[in-house]
Structure 1
Amino acid sequence: MTRSKVKLSYILNDTKRKNTFKKRQVGVVKKLDELTTLCGIEACTIIYNSFDPQPLVWPSVDEARRLIMKLKSFSKVDQVKRQVNQETFMRQRLEKMKEKLRKQQKENHSKEMTHFMFQSIIDPQTTLLMLNMMDYKELTTVTDQKLMEVVERMNEMRRRDSSSFNPPQVGADGSGGSGSQLQLVLRHDDFMPPNHGMFQSSSLGSH
């Protein structure tokens, strides 16, 4: 059975608030311990609360004091360079999500225009009437890009075929020789299927 989502608001009941604090405090320390172990970093935490006279210091008072002194030994610029409050953190996260959304929208639009491109080949009149001026420009860009990819693919296949096909060389006496410039000439009929003439005669006779 899944737990119901906890509403993030101040808990008015003292007993319930204290119990929630104890559980969450253990969770924070556990996550921090996992973070330092998995990522090999230094960290400490000091948690003040209204239920205990002394704050919780993790992993120890001496270690926390050492890390605080280490932080203070840095310049002011280095100290605040990566420090953020809750508002700044949320703003940074929101900007990242907006940028991710913009990239996804651009990718989706490109896929949509690719779909329109193929649809316009099948039914150009109906498909093109669905587009506005901006869509026409985007469709032109996508079509040009796809054509360039096709041309590049064709050129690649030609280069591959030309490098793999080396016509045999024959000498003046009919024997093979690398020094001769005479190449073997292939006739058009050499590429025809064995029954090509029969099919042609049959088709002519049917007329």
Structure 2
Amino acid sequence: MGRSAKYEFIGDERVRRQTLRKRKAGLFKKVSELKTLCCVDACAVMYGNTGVQPDVWPSPFEAYNLFQRFNNLPIIKRETNMMNQEKFIRQNILKVSKKLEKEKKKNRWVEVEQLVAKNLVEHNLHDVSNLEDLKDVAYLLDENIKLVNEVQNIKRAGNENGTGSKRGKKK
């Protein structure tokens, strides 16, 4: 991941203008690289705090034409991949929530597997008193039985077709 940096207002006017000039050049360079490497139409418009004239890359004419092309698109196409901050945050929250649920399920199955292993070692499943735990243990055992049966069926089918293991057979 990138470096984490604290972003805060630059109090010194001279340093702030110098930083803006450097970052603006970097931003315009990135847009230029994006345009060249990905073969896309791109422009950048940046208003400074002076409010006089915006800085435009590559040229005001090209930027105007690109904005006109964008505005002439039907609204549905225009807003297809458009995202504001609220939509972006909601999308990220949804993604993280799904990931959290997946991890919770994964952790639950690890707990159930540990419970089964512990009780098998102790030869005692009577300690499992929670109904949810019992249901989960039963489900886990059913899934494992299905898996074992599938493996056996595949091996049986391989042996019947003559494609079974040839280990130990001499020619």
Q: TM-score, normalised by structure 2?
A: 0.76
Give me the whole-angstrom Cα distance separating, in 2, the residues matched to 1:37 and 1:107: 44
2:128 touches 2:134 (CA, 8 Å); kept in 1? no
Give the RMSD, CA atoms, in angstroms. Answer: 2.7
Structure 1 unmatched ranges of 5 or more: 166-207
Q: Which residue of 1 aligns with 2:168?
A: none
Give me the whole-angstrom Cα distance separating, in 2, the residues matched to 1:50 and 1:59: 21
Q: What is the SS of the residue equivalent to 2:11?
A: coil
1:113 touches 1:139 (CA, 8 Å); kept in 2? yes
Answer with 1 or 2: which has the greater Rg: 1
Give me the whole-angstrom Cα distance separating, in 2, the residues matched to 1:67 and 1:148: 59
Structure 2 unmatched ranges of 5 or more: 164-171
- Alpha-carbon distance, 1:13 to partner: 2.9
Identity %: 29
Q: Superposition pairs for residues 81-120 of structure 1, below 5 Å? A: 81-120=80-119
Matched, 1:36 2:35: yes
Cα 1:5–1:155 shift into 2, 3 Å? closer
Cα 1:134–1:22 shift into 2, 3 Å? farther
Give me the whole-angstrom Cα distance separating, in 2, the residues matched to 1:8 and 1:53: 26
Q: What is the SS of the residue equivalent to 1:83?
A: coil
Q: More relative contact order in 1 or in 2 (CA 8 Å, sep 6+)?
A: 2
1:18 touches 1:51 (CA, 8 Å); kept in 2? no
- Alpha-carbon distance, 1:128 to partner: 6.7
Q: Deviations over 1:64-89 (max 9, x none)?
A: 12211111111223223322222322
How many residues matched?
A: 161
- Counterpart pick for 2:155 among 154, 157, 160: 157
Give me the whole-angstrom Cα distance separating, in 1, the residues matched to 2:38 and 2:130: 51
Q: TM-score, normalised by structure 1?
A: 0.64
